[in-house]
Structure 1
Amino acid sequence: MKRKRRTFTPEIKSKIALEAMKGEKTINEIAQLYEVHPNQVSAWKGEMISNASSAFDRGKRINEQAEQSARKEGKLYKKIGELSMDVEFLKKSCRKLGIELPAEYDD
């Protein structure tokens, strides 16, 4: 019978990797403590080191997303304005031609 593969949450992985980075215990001691293979502890440690800069990049990404949202919002408001002008033009044209508008479109 096969053993079920264990999965570790990012929180547990980071905890184990931080412990390995501190250097207070050896990789083998940490692996025994958490019942994982020493190679896995080393891999998580390496991954944490290589992705450490992304922890400080978060604010920049949020600002970029906010700017992108603001640009998109501006484009949408511009489009709403254009469509509103089109509707007003069509209403005015219908009145000049004597075409009766439905009550929901009449001001």
Structure 2
Amino acid sequence: MSKKRKTYTPEEKAKVVLEILREESTLNEISQKHGVSPQLISRWRTELPTVFDKKSSQIENMKKEHAAEKEDLINQIGQLTVDMNWLKKKQQQVLELKKRKP
């Protein structure tokens, strides 16, 4: 009977690597705590920046979309402000005309 290899999610890997980076425990203590070999943890630590690099392009795309949406909303606010000011002026003009004509 062959033993099935355990797979770890990126979240689990990041959690273990962050424990190492905090330097609260030794590598061996952390490996025993999580049941992972020290060599595997060391490999995860070297791979960690590449995990963040893959997501950075997604983050940049989200930032661009957010900036475009923000710009659109700012333009809408500006247009609504102009419309509101125009309506206020027209309302005042109409009220003045009604006062003049009894």
Question: TM-score range with shorter-chain normalisation?
Answer: 0.5 to 0.7
Structure 2: how far apart are the matches of 1:25 and 1:56? 30
User: What are the equivalent positions in structure 2 for 1:10-29 lying under 5 Å apart?
Assistant: 10-29=10-29
Amino acid at match of 1:29: E
In the alignment, what sits opposite 1:80?
none
- 1:28-72 Cα offsets, whole Å, 9 max, x none, are 1111111111011111112224555666664422245x4xxxxxx
Structure 2: how far apart are the matches of 1:49 and 1:27? 19
Gaps of at least 5 residues in structure 1 are 67-107
In the alignment, what sits opposite 1:42?
42
- Structure with the bigger percentage of helix: 2
Distance 1:19 1:35, change over 3 A: same
TM-score by length of 2: 0.52
Amino acid at match of 1:25: S
Computed over aligned residues only, the root mean square deviation of the Cα atoms, in angstroms, reads 3.0
Percent of paired sites with the same residue = 34
Q: How many corresponding residue pairs?
A: 68
Amino acid at match of 2:2: K
Structure 1: how far apart are the matches of 2:9 and 2:51? 17
Distance 1:9 1:59, change over 3 A: closer
Structure 2: how far apart are the matches of 1:58 and 1:32? 35
TM-score by length of 1: 0.50
Distance 1:18 1:55, change over 3 A: farther
In the alignment, what sits opposite 1:61?
61
